Amino acid sequence: MELLLATAIGSVVLLVIQTTFFGALRLHRTTHARLDDDRVVERTLAIIRRDLAGLMLPGGVLSGELQTTTFSSMTSGTQGDRITPDLFTSSGRIDGWTPFADVQSVAYYLSTATGASAGRDLIRVVTRNLLPVQETEPEETVLLGNVAAAEIAYFDGTGWVDAWDSFSTATLPKALKFTLTLAPRDRNEAAPAPIEIVVPVTVVTTTSQTEAAGEAAGL
């Protein structure tokens, strides 16, 4: 009788230990997976912020116009659905593997996910050498997966607009806003809130300077 009682107590103790151990193990794996995902999101946001902050003045030898009239958010290409126009930015780096100037052309796309992800892949397409002797292929990098939607907006001084043409206006927006929405990991989960990055545009065109001087003078 004592042996049976000891065996029963030992079984209960082992069951509790097993339940606690495997619960802690699942929590450990879930926490580390979430931290890894958050680290990837933070890295992606840092890259986007650097690209937007380095926006160049349009019309130069290496920098083209900021134009959204040549595409729409539903336009499909080889890389997927285009989100941004070509952004001529100074976010490039010179090193042993990228021996070109730090001015580069960057564009963002949403592409169909290659894995079993519920969302899509955010792709960054970079053209590093803007004065090539022969035609070069842009570099494609998958920055983030499981993306539900992404868009960019332009602040004209009074409100946010979804289109811009620096060729016709000879101006740049005062700020850029990149909105990123991740897909829920589980169908039972609520959709996460959109992530927004607002980056002021520090460069000013001559037309913008003239308009600002006129406003200051009360004209």
Indicate whether 138 belongs to any domain. yes
93 falls within a domain: yes
Q: Which domain holds residue 140?
A: 32-216
* Other CB atoms within 10 A of residue 177 CB: 16
Residues linked to residue 176 through DSSP beta bridges, in sequence order? 154, 199
135 within domain boundaries:
yes
More confident residue, 21 or 185: 185
The answer to whether the predicted template modeling score (pTM) of the entire model surpasses 0.85 is no
pLDDT digits (tens, 9 = 90+) for 53-67: 989 888 877 788 898
Say yes or no to pLDDT of 85 above 70.
Answer: yes
pLDDT digits (tens, 9 = 90+) for 91-149: 887 666 665 558 889 999 998 877 656 788 999 999 887 776 667 778 888 998 889 89
**Confidence check: pLDDT of 209 > 70:** yes
Tell me if 53 is assigned to some domain. Answer: yes
pLDDT for 154 equals 95
The secondary element (H helix, E strand) that includes residue 39 is helix 2-53
Q: Is residue 8 part of a domain?
A: no
4 in any annotated domain = no
In a domain, 56, yes or no: yes
Number of domains comprising the chain: 1
Integer Cα distance of 152 and 130 in angstroms? 24
Q: Which residues contact 157 (CB under 8 A, 6 or more apart)?
A: 174
How far does Cα 149 stand from its chain's mean position?
Answer: 11
Domain contains 19: no
Q: Is 202 left (phi over 0), alpha (psi -120 to 50) or beta?
A: alpha
Q: 3-state DSSP helix/strand/coil percent for the chain, to nearest 5?
A: 30, 25, 40
- In contact, 189 and 169? CB cutoff 8 Å: no
pLDDT at 72: 46
